[in-house]
């Protein structure tokens, strides 16, 4: 029986993610555990590294720096854009668009609107944040051939397609 977290295993975790002030940003509580394919970059590198070699039933606490998390905050990904140039020609705070950037397509979120212009931010909402994870490993199993091909997990806690 597989019990240890290693590359190309499907790992199910219960987790709570908090910021430095102890505010909960995300949690699996009240939902089914998150299932991911280990070593495939499905989760942030700092958490994936910390889980390597852990066993089912272990609980760990991990502090992940922005570099090992969702990236450092990049001011160059903020841009003021004329609303008439946006795909839907309208803008509201919280709207997101997929736009071309110099590193390929990227999600941009409207963070403010002033007159005919919208401020777009292409940073991940958690960019620049130190992440505090509490994680319990609840299951480790072998992936199916299809999961390996797709690079992610299917079924409960994974992709539904
Ligand atoms: Zn798939």
CA neighbours closer than 13 Å in the CB half-sphere of residue 2? 16
Report which DSSP code applies to 139. Answer: E
Burial 83-103 (b: 16+ CB within 10 A, else e): beebeeeebeeebebebeeee
Distance 118 CA to ligand 1 centre (A): 35
Three-state secondary structure of 51-83: HCCCECCCEEEEEECHHHCCCCCCHHHEEEEEH
Residue 127 CA, ligand 1 centroid: distance in Å: 26
- The CATH number assigned to the domain holding 35 equals 3.10.50.40
Residue 161 domain-assigned (yes or no): no
pLDDT digits (tens, 9 = 90+) for 105-141: 889 999 999 999 999 999 999 999 999 999 999 999 9
- For residue 136, the Cα-to-chain-centroid distance in whole angstroms is 18
- Domain containing residue 115: CATH number: 2.40.10.330
pLDDT band at 1 (very low <50, low <70, confident <90, very high): low
Does residue 144 have a pLDDT over 70? yes
Note whether residue 156 is domain-resident.
Answer: no
Total structural domains in the chain?
2
pTM of the entire structure?
A: 0.83
Domain that holds residue 90: 75-121
């Amino acid at each position: 029986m597989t019990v240890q977290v290693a590359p190309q295993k499907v790992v199910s975790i219960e987790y709570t993610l908090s910021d430095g002030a102890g505010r909960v940003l995300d949690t699996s509580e009240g939902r089914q555990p998150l299932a991911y394919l280990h070593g495939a970059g499905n989760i942030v590198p700092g958490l994936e590294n910390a889980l390597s070699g852990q066993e089912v039933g272990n609980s760990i606490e991990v502090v992940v720096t922005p570099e090992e998390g969702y990236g450092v905050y990049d001011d160059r990904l903020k841009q003021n854009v004329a609303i008439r140039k946006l795909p839907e020609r309208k803008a509201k705070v919280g709207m997101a668009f997929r736009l071309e950037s110099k590193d390929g397509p990227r999600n941009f979120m409207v963070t403010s609107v002033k007159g005919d212009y919208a401020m777009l931010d292409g940073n991940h909402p958690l960019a620049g944040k130190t992440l505090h994870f509490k994680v319990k490993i609840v299951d480790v199993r072998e992936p199916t051939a299809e999961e390996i091909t797709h690079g992610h997990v299917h079924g409960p806690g994974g992709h539904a397609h």
